[in-house]
Amino acid sequence: MNHYQILIIGGGTAGITVAAQLRRKDKNHKIAIIEPSEKHYYQPAWTLVGAGTFDFKDTERNEADYIPDGVDWIKDKASDILPESNTVKTESSGDFTYDYLVVAPGLVMAPELLPGLKEALGKGVVCSNYTDPEHTWEVLQNFKGGNAVFTQPLTPIKCGGAPQKIMYLAEEYFRKTSKVRENTNVIFATPGSVIFGVKDFAKTLNKILIEREIIFKPYYAPVRIDAENKFIYFKYIEKGENGCIINEGNKIGEEIVGDSEIKMSFDMLHLAPPQQAPKFIRESSVALQDGPNKGWVDVNINTLQHLRYPNIFSLGDVAALPTAKTGAAIRKQAPVVVENILHLIKNKTMGKEIYEGYSSCPLVTGYSKMVLAEFKYDNVRDSDPMISKFVDTTKEQYSMWLLKKYGLPFMYWNLMLKGRA
């Protein structure tokens, strides 16, 4: 049986960053990463790919180039975690045991959770930057007017701001390039109550919605899609409300179906598919088995240590943390996991590093404009002190667009995945 001092499940952003930082701090530990994929993607740029301003092939690299030197790569899928025996099972490479386990496999797309989506996604006018941003760009270019609907599911998703970023870019594209904006209703329908949870940034985004005549529909949770007839159905979920509200003079042609369903036609539909933890995580005892975080890994939100198995840590999209699931969050989570594991190995006690919930959403609001929304737990603004000294990140900035398009990808490939940032 293969044994590792530190075993990492997942070779995405979180797994590679943790492995790289561990190697930089101490080269004496036996470490392995379980990861089946040959390719590694910089997914934050997929928003820009979907808007025709970034080349998809530039988001793709070989996974082998980013496995840190001295770390074993188990090119396989984890299939089960048995924490009582410190064992991880794989699909074809057998069992592996560990002293410390880092659980970071990311999440998976689950379009089957929204009836009609699996059959429609990536075909015709139903698109998603989460699965095929090149198809999104085709849809935008072919769009001739009507209802352009942008929405997201009730489940947690990667980068909660992404469904509205492509909407802002699409709206500008329709206005400046396709000349179809005057014949288009741009609609953002979300299960959430506000456009963004942090007030300083929401103020700017609400102003953009008004100025650009974007129709905002809060409390709209998508429940099914009829792609053949181009209808999407929503449930109105505001607490304490029994029905739903149709306003704006109903120029978008909504209909009420039954007690609380809303039927909306679309001429293009962009959405984030429902998302969830991988099946082997959901079925393992490392995941919460009930409650609002059911299926996600049960960790202390500050130390990232498992609440029931002290030699297990989790970070990234799969961890049950009340903050946005972003690469920026991982950048702050990884040093906490690394410090705590190394401290446990050396001193048998936890280190002092804690994670305060930092996440960031680079809200692209157009071609050459971006609002850099940074926040921590409880939706408290948490802007970088260095950037904030020179730039008001609550306002649309060209400099932040440059950061998004050029700075962040460079930092990701050359610093973060190398354990330097």
Burial class of residue 228 in the structure, from the number of CB atoms within 10 Å of its CB (0-12 exposed, 13-18 middle, 19+ buried): exposed
Q: Residue 2, exposed/middle/buried by CB under 10 A (0-12, 13-18, 19+)?
A: middle
Contact 397, 367 (CB under 8 A): no
- How far apart are the C-alpha atoms of 345 and 343, rounded to whole Å? 5
**Rg of the chain in Å (alpha carbons):** 22
User: Measured between alpha carbons, how far is 369 from 190 in angstroms, rounded to an integer?
Assistant: 23
Do β-strands 268-271 and 126-127 pair in parallel, antiparallel, or remain unpaired?
parallel
* Active-site residue, 127 included: no
H/E stretch holding 163: helix 162-173
Residues 7-29: b if buried by 16+ CB within 10 A, e if exposed: bbbbbbbbbbbbbbbbbeeeeeb
Q: Which of 33, 159, 319, 329 is catalytic?
A: 159
Report the alpha-carbon distance of residue 288 to residue 296 in Å, rounded: 6
Cα separation of 277 and 283, whole Å? 10
Measured CA to CA, the distance from residue 118 to residue 400 in angstroms comes to 35
- φ, ψ for residue 234 (rounded to 5)? -120, 155
CA distance 105 to 275: 13
Residue tagged active-site, from 169, 361, 364, 403: 361
Is 244 catalytic? The answer is: no
- For the annotated catalytic residues, the residue numbers are 159, 361
